[in-house]
Amino acid sequence: MNTDAQAIRRLVAQWHSATAAGDVETVLGLMAEDVVFLVPGQPPMKGRTTFEKGLRGLLTSHRLESTGDIQEVCVSGDLGYCWSVITVRMTPLSGGNASDAI
């Protein structure tokens, strides 16, 4: 695995750590302005601002922990990407059972 692919994997690990810490600013700094998230059963979530609004809203009522299974990392010149299957465990701050979203 080349160093660029390793850097992408480290970025993903940093993302999961920042999510668990509720560190929204770090999470936002790890994504491009024009990021697109594909969520099962939902239209694509487009843009960092849209993601930020959803994340901040969710953090008012839940603690989040995410894990991911990286499916592919590709680097070609100045372009690099990865895609992964992410599971987010959402635990209500008010108590109660956690739920997982994939």
Q: Which residue has the tokens 């008012």?
A: 60
Q: Summarize pLDDT for 39-66 with one digit per residue, the tens.
A: 889 999 999 999 999 999 999 999 999 9
Q: What is the pLDDT of the chain when averaged over all its residues? A: 93
* Domain span including residue 72: 3-101
- Indicate the helix (H) or strand (E) that contains 19: helix 3-21
Looking at the 3D structure of the chain, how many domains does it have?
1
pLDDT of res. 101: 87
Provide the pLDDT for residue 2: 84
Q: Which long-range contacts (CB under 8 A, 24 or more apart) does 71-76 make?
A: 73/1, 73/5, 73/8, 73/9, 75/2, 75/4, 75/5, 75/8
Q: What is the C-alpha separation between 44 and 37, in angstroms, rounded?
A: 6
The low-confidence residues of the chain, meaning pLDDT below 50, are none
Structure confidence at residue 39 (pLDDT): 84
Q: What CATH code is carried by the domain that includes residue 9?
A: 3.10.450.50
Do the beta carbons of residue 33 and residue 48 sit within 8 Å? Answer: yes
Give the CA angle between residues 51, 57, 59 to the nearest 5°.
100
Residue 18, CB half-sphere, CA atoms under 13 Å: how many?
A: 16
Q: Strands 45-46 and 36-37: what pairing?
A: antiparallel
